[in-house]
Amino acid sequence: MNLDNLPDGWTIYIWLVAGALIVIAAIIGIRWAAKNEQFDEDIKYLVFDENDKDKMSPEEYKKSREVLEKQMKRREEVLKQKEEEKQRRE
């Protein structure tokens, strides 16, 4: 098949298909992110540690410790769920 023999205007269909695939991939990515708790505004506080206390206001530091504690609890829950699923499969 030679591309020169195709009728005029055929390239628009390639662009439409490519655009549709990009939109579908974006939707799938957003759904995955929403299901996996990726839209958390407090995530910025997880980059701080005890050595950053003097660089933060007391409120920010308190918030960073609360967020860290919450994230660690959630991590333990997720790891426990994965371990339970693994044991059920065996």
pLDDT, tens digit (0-9, with 9 covering 90-100), for 23-32: 999 999 999 9
Residue 36 reports pLDDT greater than 60:
yes
71 located within any domain = yes
49 located within any domain = yes
5 located within any domain = no
Q: Print the domain residue range for 26.
A: 11-89
3 located within any domain = no
Greatest mean pLDDT range, 18-22, 39-43, 65-69: 18-22
Number of domains in the chain: 1
Q: How far apart are CA 49 and CA 14, in angstroms?
A: 50
50 located within any domain = yes
Mean pLDDT of 23-52: 88
59 located within any domain = yes
Q: What average pLDDT does the structure give for the chain? A: 88
58 located within any domain = yes
Q: Residue 46: is it exposed, middle or buried by C-beta count within 10 angstroms (0-12/13-18/19+)?
A: middle
